[in-house]
Structure 1
Amino acid sequence: MAEAEVCVDCPPDNQQTAAPMLVPEPTTVAHNPLDPSTFVPPSSPISPSVTIEFCDRCRWLHRATWVSTELFLTFPTPALRVITIMPLNSEETAGRFRVWLFLDGKPPVLVWDRKVEGGFPELKVLKQRIRDHIQPGKSLGHSDK
């Protein structure tokens, strides 16, 4: 895995590695910035869709739009109907880069979290994780090698 980039505007957090997981229904559990089970996903009305949350203060807009473009090129409609990029600008969202997947009748899936995973996603890995949920068995060509 590539070394995590350091944001110059946001204080760094301790980082650890974890696999993607389903996110449980929101509860009153205290928020822990490194525990995905305490993350609250944004809402998404159209399925299947992806939401990319990112820290605007870290200037990650270009990365978020690049990732969204690559996902649309790999999963054209109807595989993915909507990709939302959501800039965040607060102390509690400092350094955030999360990718959520929304599917009808299922809880949102946290596909990637920069702080938990220890860096930004390689597109190959991100595409494989999304593919495994929306089009299992689909070949991603060079991204599967």
Structure 2
Amino acid sequence: MKPTIIIEYCPKCNWLLRAAYMAQELLTTFEADLDSIALKPSETAGRYTISLGDVVLFDRKEHGRFPEIKELNSWCATR
């Protein structure tokens, strides 16, 4: 079964467009390897996480920044 990526973003921070851009880039690169990408509005202010199944690939608060597309591509390629 192909995995689903979940991008959880803070709607109060207006990060929907950033999340949608990341989803588009990941779908373009891994179209044949993914089942779907879900954009999930967070109830927690400031949250921006990207998960593959139960594994958190990136957490903005942990890293202190947003992910680069190249980082996400390499993490997804190794999963």
Q: Which residue of 1 aligns with 2:62?
A: 116
Give the root-mean-square deviation of aligned CA atoms.
1.1
Which whole-Å CA distance do the structure 1 matches of 2:41 and 2:3 have between them? 21
TM-score (norm 2): 0.94
Q: Which residue of 2 aligns with 1:130?
A: 76
Paired residue type of 2:51: W
Residue 129 of structure 1: how far off its partner (Å): 0.7
Hey, which of these two has a bigger chunk of helix by percent? Answer: 2
Q: Which residue of 2 aligns with 1:81?
A: 35
Please say which structure displays the higher CA radius of gyration.
Answer: 1
The structure, 1 or 2, with the larger RCO (C-alpha pairs under 8 Å, 6+ apart) is 2
For structure 1, list consecutive stretches of 5 or more residues without a partner in the other structure: 1-45, 103-107, 134-145
Q: Which residue of 2 aligns with 1:72?
A: 27
**Matches of residues 36-75 of structure 1 in structure 2 within 5 Å?**
47-75=2-30
Segments ≥4 residues shifted beyond 2 Å: none
Which whole-Å CA distance do the structure 2 matches of 1:98 and 1:83 have between them? 13
Which whole-Å CA distance do the structure 1 matches of 2:56 and 2:6 have between them? 10
Aligned residues: 79
% identity of equivalent residues: 39
TM-score (norm 1): 0.52
